[in-house]
Structure 1
Amino acid sequence: MVEQERRRAARCVAVSAAALLVAVLLASWTGLVHANNPSRDRFPVWGVDVSRYQGSIDWPVLAGQGVEFAFIKATEGSSHTDPAFATNLAGASAAGLRTGAYHFFSFESPGDSQADNVIATVPVQPGQLPVAVDVEFYGDFWTSPPPVADARRELAVLLGRLDAHYPAGAIVYTTGEVYNRYLAGAFPGVEVWIRDVWREPALADGRAWTFWQFSDRYRLDGYRGEEQFIDLNVYAGSRTDWEAYRR
């Protein structure tokens, strides 16, 4: 009888723990709770990244919630442009945010033609943030990643041309998995914007990160579109560092 009671109690504990885990994951998925909650004392500069999916954005409202910078989707691959880029860039700039563009890297397009697309779309502006090159898996590449040498070759071409064209240069946005495959130990001097929605990131090769996307399921006032959530990011340095960053 004692052994049966112990087993029953153990099953109850296991079921309760599983139920709690499911509840936490569900709350995180719906944006009710957040695994990450960076301290504003430690990370005083916060920002968003947006695309057309956030729809119409009231940038002064967004800025009034402690948002100081915005990375705005501009381009993808060799030919696609985000239809909301120009509007978002103008709105964010007028609201006093420091702005930067981001480009979604295509594993299927030459780095040169991708650079042409970015340069034709993203104007050079005073005080702008670096152009961020978003390198992540998509489609079939989740299960069949491109060869490392091929991806690095085209990425090097793209980054080189953006560095030469834009005074603030270029950085790379990526996930931990993609970083480990394509960037760890490579591209010295290239700053990293890393996504980790579960914990504070630590890059495998010890490189410091500059920006951290800590949530992709935040809700703020001031936008209405297909996407109900907005991505939140922090800058790694102090406010003094931020005032001098890539100026």
Structure 2
Amino acid sequence: MKNRGIQVLAAAAVAALLLLVLFFLVKTKRLQVNRLIVSPRDTVGVDLSEYQAEVDMDTLAGQGVSFIYMKATEGSGYTDSRFSQNWENAERSGIPAGAYHFFSFDSPGKMQAENYIRTVGSLDGKLIPAVDVEYYADKRSNPPDSAELAKELRDFLDALEAEYHVKPMIYCPREIYEKYIAPYFDEYPRWIRSVYYPAQFEAGSRWVIWQYCDTGRLDGYVGGEKNIDLNVLRRGIDLRSLTVGEDDGSGK
């Protein structure tokens, strides 16, 4: 009995050690479980900004990229320096494209919406607008008030919905979703970030697009940032349901 007890303890210790090693490999991205889950039959896309500099859309498409979201604006006055060229190149290549806005906690939502609408213009035939809501600078240690952020984000979303007649999609990590999005905006299409674990662990099936990797490497861009974010469309959803003028934009 004593020997058996020692064996059980030893087995438990080995199992715990293996779990710690697995956790370390996942958290340091040496083991990227998500890449094993996403299959060639999935609809894969990328999101990019000026950090990728000049982008060859045809080269990306040739590597299986089926859609692109590109940064257009940030706050009430900033425009991504590569947006116009990326937008034109995507139009020329025929790859489905959408434009996203990086939401500032320091600017009125209506002014941010005006910046986006002025910069992007018509979205007919394009993917629905998206807004990126995440902590930046010191905002994690000095977070905005939930009700105040909800008001400004509501103003932003309402303005875009009035302009484009679709519900914008909200991109956010889990910490933002739980504190700011779920209590106020759970009816909006959700673009989740979960680069360590499968989307089902983060959100079940309540997502439209999943950013599953932020260390992707592809040919077709020459910026100082060598990595590119990889995304996948939830199975059962067609890109046409996320296209302005094709559907209600809900992706549901």
Give the letter aligned to residue 223 of structure 1: Y
Give the letter aligned to residue 164 of structure 1: A
**5+ unaligned residues in a row in structure 2: which ranges?**
247-252
Aligned-partner Cα distance in 2 for 1:86–1:22: 41
Q: Which residue of 2 aligns with 1:243?
A: 240
Q: Which residue of 2 aligns with 1:227?
A: 225
1:107 to 105, 114, 122: 105
Deviations 1:66-93 (A, max 9, x none): 1111110000000010010011111122
Q: 1:179 to 1:16 in 2, by over 3 A?
A: closer
**5+ unaligned residues in a row in structure 1: which ranges?**
none
The TM-score, its normalising length taken from structure 1, stands at 0.84
Q: Which residue of 1 aligns with 2:65?
A: 67
Higher strand share: 1
2:49 to 42, 51, 62: 51
Instruction: Report deviation, 1:131.
Output: 1.1
Aligned-partner Cα distance in 2 for 1:188–1:21: 31
Aligned-partner Cα distance in 2 for 1:114–1:156: 11
Q: 1:167 to 1:128 in 2, by over 3 A?
A: farther
Q: Secondary structure at the match of 2:99?
A: strand
Instruction: Report deviation, 1:21.
Output: 5.7
Q: Is the 8 A contact 1:69 1:97 kept in 2?
A: yes
Give the letter aligned to residue 40 of structure 1: S
Q: Which residue of 1 aligns with 2:175?
A: 177
Q: Secondary structure at the match of 1:212?
A: strand
The TM-score, its normalising length taken from structure 2, stands at 0.83
Q: Secondary structure at the match of 1:243?
A: helix
Q: Structure 2 matches for 1:129-208, cutoff 5 A?
A: 129-202=127-200, 208=206
Q: 1:171 to 1:24 in 2, by over 3 A?
A: closer
How many pairs were matched up? 235
Instruction: Report deviation, 1:204.
Output: 7.4
Aligned-partner Cα distance in 2 for 1:119–1:94: 21
Q: Which residue of 1 aligns with 2:38?
A: 39
Percent identity of the aligned residues?
Answer: 41
Q: Is the 8 A contact 1:171 1:193 kept in 2?
A: yes
